[in-house]
Structure 1
Amino acid sequence: MTTTARCIEHLTRAVPAVEAITLCGSHRQGTSDLYSDRDVWVFCANTQPISEHLATTAFLPAGADCEILFEGRDDTLTDHTVVNVLTDAEVLNLKFLHTRVLTSFCAQDPHLDSQYLEDLENYTAMEVLHDPAATIATHQGWLRHHTIDTIPDWLLPPLASRYASTYWRSVYQGVLRTEEHAWRHLALSLVVLLAQTGFAQAGQLPPPRKWLLSPRVLTTLPDGARLTALLDQLHRTSTADPEAVLAFYNALAVCEDAILHDNELHAGMWWRGVFTERFTHLARHTGRPGLLDLAQAAPRPRTAP
């Protein structure tokens, strides 16, 4: 029996406070590699104190080789603690947490915060290894009914809204001000938001941030290869070259047209009006007629039906 299997069996048989055990992270997602920890979450009764000391002395089998990493917090009595068990084949990352953490999470209204989305993806998709009272199954069923089944209602509108405001700001930084680093940051945010929208369109929660733009994950989307190519184009583009910046926005427009659906946009792709309408006004007020030439080469707005 492997060390990992021995630890899990010990937790299920010898620790009465353990209510459920799940597999999370890259091993569950199918993205694990040689450097991946095996992330296992151990849900404990709410009355059970949790600390690093208890985890290493009372929860694990004798002789378990543990790596304790100080993370700067008071870890005497908390809702969770993390212990790494060193095995011959892998690092077993054990997160001990109270079941009330999951219960409290279920009570939240869904929102666009990136940490919330990552936690939601983990909670709804984690693989159950031990759940004798169906504690995890009950919580997962509730979350799927109220969040996964309603993704178009609560996730797509704020994604589109954030995308629109970021687009506007990015054009100013990249075309008008030639702020290289500021533009690149905003343009990358646009690709991230489009990728998240693509997964939401497919009825899926976006993958965690560290994997979202990985080709092996992104190319599972119908337009993932195009987004990957757009990322390569972004990294080659300099704001010192207005034609290259406009080429990026035109390639971005192709991705927008493929991923964003008219029936989910209240006023079409109105944000492209930063080129057609706003540039026209700015050309007049700033005395820069060259802005009109840029506008002619930029993506055109698409109005909602």
Structure 2
Amino acid sequence: MRIPPPGQRRRLLRHDPHAILSEYRTALQERFVLTTGEWLVPALTARYASLYWRSVYQGFLGEESASWHHLMGQMIELLAQLEAACDGRLPPPAKWLLSENAGARTPVVRALSTVQAEIRTVNSADEAGVLRVYHSLARVESDVMAPAPPPHGMWWRKVFTERLPNIALLPDHHALRPKVQAAAAIFRDLV
């Protein structure tokens, strides 16, 4: 590809007689739009799984309401971005992820808006309410990740059925047993 001298570059911004801009556009589209699923989905899934455990630890176990609400908001955004990436398109800016005015709202984005409203109304001290939110989130996760399931499955869901019961066995955490057993019973069908 020949790069024109500086005096001619200004003219190419108005039109593209040598197809230089269209070549760049094609290359960028192939690299960043058509291969979105290959490089963006694993990164978003890893971030989502990390936030899942932190939200359980701070919201369900630690009862830190402000932190739990913040982490859940980030998880909602990540699921909306994952939904776009799994469909092979770049996610919209964060401002428009769950917006009512954003062109085509998918059923997943509508479901995420419902979960987001549910998160706003739940106090993290309300164990049953927090578990309902995670259960609603799990249904949306299944819809989002059905086209491109993670290679190791949705392992973060095992927090309630495996990781928390193991923590409750520790000598300093016996008080968690009833709370953890109730959560594990709800999430056995989702794992």
TM-score range, shorter chain: 0.7 to 0.9
Identity score, percent: 34
**CA deviation map 1:55-93 (0-9, x unaligned):** xxxxxxxxxxxxxxxxxxxxxxxxxxxxxxxxxxxxxxx
Secondary structure of the structure 2 residue equivalent to 1:282: helix
* Paired residue secondary structure (1:251): helix
Does the 8 Å CA contact 1:212/1:218 hold for their aligned counterparts? no
- Structure 2 residue identity aligned to 1:131: H
Q: Structure 2 vs 1, CA of residues 141 and 261 (structure 1 numbering), >3 Å: closer, same or farther? A: same
- Aligned counterpart, 2:105: 220
Matched-pair contact (CA < 8 Å) for 1:226–1:255 = yes
Gaps of 5+ in 1: 1-14, 22-129
Q: Does 1:283 align with 2:171?
A: no
Aligned residues: 180
Q: 1:236 to 1:18 in 2, by over 3 A?
A: farther
| Residues 280 and 169 (structure 1), Cα distance of their counterparts in 2 relative to 1, 3 Å cut | same
Contact 1:199 1:206 in 2 (8 A): yes
Instruction: Map 1:1-80; keep pairs closer than 5 Å.
Output: 18-19=10-11
Q: Following the alignment from structure 1 to structure 2, what is the Cα–Cα distance between the partners of residues 219 and 178?
A: 37
**1:180 & 1:209 partners in 2: Cα distance?**
23
Unaligned runs of 5+ in 2: 1-6
Among 181, 184, 191, the residue aligned to 1:292: 181
Deviations 1:194-248 (A, max 9, x none): 0001111221100012111212328622322111111111111110211111110
2:35 is equivalent to residue 146 of structure 1: no
- Answer whether contact 1:187 1:234 (CA < 8 A) is retained: yes
| Closer, same or farther: CA 301–20 of 1 in aligned 2, 3 Å | farther
Alignment of 1:239-254 (within 5 A): 239-254=124-139
1:181 shift after superposition: 1.1
- Kept in 2: contact 1:270–1:301 (CA 8 A): no
Other structure's SS at 2:35 match: helix
The structure whose RCO (Cα within 8 Å, separation 6+) is larger is 2
- Mapping of 1:106-145 within 5 angstroms? 130-133=14-17, 134-145=19-30
Aligned mate of 1:236, from 114, 121, 126: 121
SS in structure 1 at match of 2:89: coil
Say if 2:68 is the partner of 1:183.
Answer: yes
Distance 2:188 2:90 in 1: 29
Cα RMSD (Å) of the superposition? 2.2
Can you list the C-alpha shifts for 1:120-152, whole angstroms capped at 9, x where unaligned? xxxxxxxxxx33344432221111112211112
Larger Rg over CA atoms: 1
Distance change >3 Å, CA 248–CA 159, structure 1 → 2: same
Given that residues 60 and 130 in structure 2 are in contact (C-alpha distance below 8 angstroms), is that contact kept between their aligned partners in structure 1? yes
Structure having the higher helix fraction is 2
Residues 19 and 131 of structure 1 are in contact (CA less than 8 Å); yes or no, is this contact kept in structure 2? yes
Contact kept, 8 Å, 1:157 with 1:264, in 2: the verdict is no
Contact 1:173–1:183 at 8 Å: present in 2 too? yes
